[in-house]
A and B are shown apart, each in its own frame.
Chain A
Amino acid sequence: MPEKWLHSVYRYTLKQLTSKWYRRCRANLEVRRRLTWNIFQSIEYAGEQDQLKLHDFFNTMLMNMATDGDGPAPLIKAFNVNKRESIYDTQTMPDTSEPSLYSMLNETDVEKSYKGVHLSFPLTHDQLHKMVQCFKRKLASSALTTLHAKYTMELLLEVRKVLKTQPNIRYASTSISKQFTICGDLHGKLNDLYMIFHKNGLPSVDNPYIFNGDFVDRGQSSVEVALVLFSCFLMNPNEVYINRGNHEDHVMNLRYGFIKEIQRKYKSHSSKIISLFKDVFSWLPLATVVDEQILVCHGGISDTTDLSLLAKIDRHKYMSTLQPPGGCEDIKTMKRDELIEWKQVLDLLWSDPRTIDGCLPNTFRGGGCYFGADITEEFLKKNNFKLLVRSHECKTEGFEYTHNHKVLTIFSASSYYEVGSNLGAYVRVQRPDLECRIVQYMAGHSPAIRKISFTQRVNIVEQSALQDLKKRIIACKNELMKGFQGFDPTNSGIISGCDWCFTMETVLEMELPWRTLKSKLVKSDDSCGVFYMSTFEELEVKHRYSGNGPSITETLYKNKDNLETIFRLMDADHSGQITMQEFQDALVILIKQLDIKIKETDIADIARSIDLNNDGLIDFNEFLEAFRIVDNLGKDKTHCIDKADTEEEIAHSPQKAIDIKV
């Protein structure tokens, strides 16, 4: 009898202990998941902010500098995309009769060796089908080519012709189809698009679609996604609606990968195709209204959003929405009307909803605004709408309702940050009440990956987020060291956790829960002291060219994205090469923007050292090869910096410890 009693006590204890302990594990996991999300989002938005800072900077330069003289004027000129003469400036050009269009096509022949799909226009269902199949095979084997340059150009010209006839805001109706599908950001992820078509069918009269922008950049298959979407659009121009997103923008494409992808896939034909995409993007409609009840646009609204005003503007002026339209050089000389009009477009493409009432400038992204529930309420009421569907922000579940169910965010790229980081989703709007049915999915992975447990998924995604974060940390090594050493007057190698957090937050300018992250990034002693050198373990900036010291290498690395963006801008013919002089100009500008001191001779040294084959030209590969973060995992991983080790190192050679390996 006592044994049975004991057993029941143990059973009870086990249950108590297990559930308490299990819930705590779950809580930790949840916190890690959120943390990972924060890291990815901070890094993503930091990139967007950089891009905007760069813009503000160039705009200031535009205002203050004469465009002649020997300064970096060509660069600045290059930067103003809206002003650069489009090869096919449609405003003044009679369309199909323009000989240059045809000559461009005629210059391009389809080689006999081409094994891809052949297209003829008007497109047939059969051709679309073949193309879809071909891209699918290509996903499995990268050896296959994408659609031939000639067909790509023909397709883009056809799309452009149709887009030109469409208004800025399109009106869709469910009266025939009884339902409507809306998809959000795809970002070059063909797997997600195919997943949607697989689950929901190809677009047709009975099955209309709205693609709500941002189908290019970031992913590996932006070209294919764009071509499939455009083909669907050509086949069903009245059933497929494509809204412009903030990434259907030449300036964004320079930084976020689309231009690079085109250059890789189309080689010598790329410059023509880049120009065509740029032009086609500027013809994309800005928003779609379903049954006069639902507004669908990429970003959102502001307190000034006015659909009747938006309907009237010439959207083609905005080759890039990030710059003043029509080659206007000085924002100050822009007419009030022009500014208002520009803001209308920016707000529609760049804004995010927030819970705080009112309308604030979107400081996180740097463009558009944050709009509160009151702004939504007012806007919907004024226009007699019941819902705003927008995209633009990645959500863990692929969708999110905010503003009392009046705003729906829909995001269709699953695993956006990392395998398993988030679900993708699309929404089916159904008659009679336009009820929204959300469908979620995770695309493109083997069943094994789909089945991994929540814990494993958190682990994988967390690793990748920490890796990305480490890269940013390494890029700021010098500044961080300065901060740490400021708290360590005796060179002990140890500072308090609090000081470490403070330094990380202020130097990196990232608002992350550093206390929670601390244990994942640095080693600590028992009394919460941090061995700050361990912040930089495992990863180091490697630069093939010595002699310029760590600071310039780091500076350049930190601004690698900015530099690359500038390069792509300067490379007006998209040949992938720029001159030494142009490179130096870019550096001078960047250095001035950052307000740092680097000797002119150092700049020349760097430029020379990058041009490996001495042909006076620098190509992007040479440039990117020159600066990279190297994962030092090769070296003994079991080696931990212990206290004695660190002290010795720092005492004997404080400088050595912060040198960057060459």
Chain B
Amino acid sequence: MAGADEQKDNTDSIIADIQKRITEAFDMFDHESNKTVDVREVGTIIRSLGCCPSEAELHDMLNMIEEEEPTGYIRFEKFLPMMTKVLMERRYKPVPEDQLLRAFQVLDAEGKGYLSQEELTKYMTEEGEPFNQEELEEMLSAAVDPDKGSIQYKEYVSIMSLEET
């Protein structure tokens, strides 16, 4: 009996902690301090909380919490329960670094150790989910080695994952 109580307490405190994290992340984007955020920034909030949904998945999440008559804003009271659930169930976990590296390596069929800008652009813009021009340019500007003019993917992947911590 005591054991069950303890476990329940423990779960409660985990939930409480998760909800505080969500609140902090939300507040950082709540410019008007009225417990709403711009719908365009919700993706950033969700991702900053350690989730990696695809654009389609993000779209579904937004659908769940948007007002019946979309206002362009998302309310905290709707965001909190949805996000708590996602985090408790550990959904949309990020891809491990080695898996990403593996994908790069396969595409670099010749084993050069790098991809050219053109190659990466081609992969990122063809089929599947759209990666828009702005995102692409940003990504290239961060990924392209300024001296070599190509993407040294091994370095790039490790730099980017370093920044996650």
Contact = CB atoms under 8 A, between A and B. Distances in A.
B127 A356 contact: no
Given A26-B138, A497-B17, A16 B160 contact: no
Contact of B163 (A19, A455, A501): A455
A30 B44 contact: yes
Interface in B1-51: 13, 16-17, 20-21, 24-25, 27-29, 31-34, 43-48, 50-51
A115 interface: no
Interface stretch (B67-75, B76-84, B101-109): B101-109
A27 interface: yes
Nearest to B92: A20
Contact of A21 (B28, B52, B165): B52
A515 interface: yes
Given A356-B34, A455-B163, A28 B48 contact: yes
Contact of B28 (A16, A17, A23, A38): A38
Contacts of A23: 43, 47, 52, 135
A159 B37 CA distance: 48
B160 A22 contact: yes
A34 B27 CA distance: 11
A16 B138 CA distance: 17
B111 interface: no
A12 interface: yes
Interface in A13-37: 13-31, 34-35
A26 to B, nearest CB: 7
A232 B134 CA distance: 42
Given A24-B47, A27-B48, A10 B103 contact: yes
A24 B106 CA distance: 23
Contacts of B128: 12, 15-16
Contacts of B135: 19, 22-23
Contact of B165 (A24, A34, A454, A519): A519
A21 B95 contact: yes
B141 to A, nearest CB: 6
Contacts of A24: 47-48, 50-52, 94, 164
Contact of B33 (A11, A13, A355): A355
Q: How large is the interface on B (under 10, 10 to 19, 20 to 34, 35 or more residues)?
A: 35 or more
B43 A453 contact: no
Contacts of A28: 47-48, 163-164
A356 B24 CA distance: 20
A513 B24 contact: yes
Contacts of B29: 34
A7 B107 CA distance: 7
Contacts of A514: 24
Contacts of A498: 13, 16-17, 20
A501 B20 CA distance: 10
A516 interface: yes
B54 interface: yes
A514 B21 CA distance: 9
Given A12-B127, A15-B129, A34-B29, 15 more contacts: A7-B109, A10-B106, A10-B107, A11-B126, A14-B103, A16-B128, A18-B124, A24-B52, A26-B138, A27-B43, A30-B48, A34-B28, A454-B142, A515-B17, A515-B21
3 A-B pairs closest in CB distance: A27-B47, A14-B103, A513-B24
6 contacts: A19-B54, A25-B160, A355-B32, A356-B33, A498-B13, A515-B21
Interface of A: 7, 10-31, 34-35, 38, 355-356, 453-455, 497-498, 501, 513-516, 519, 528
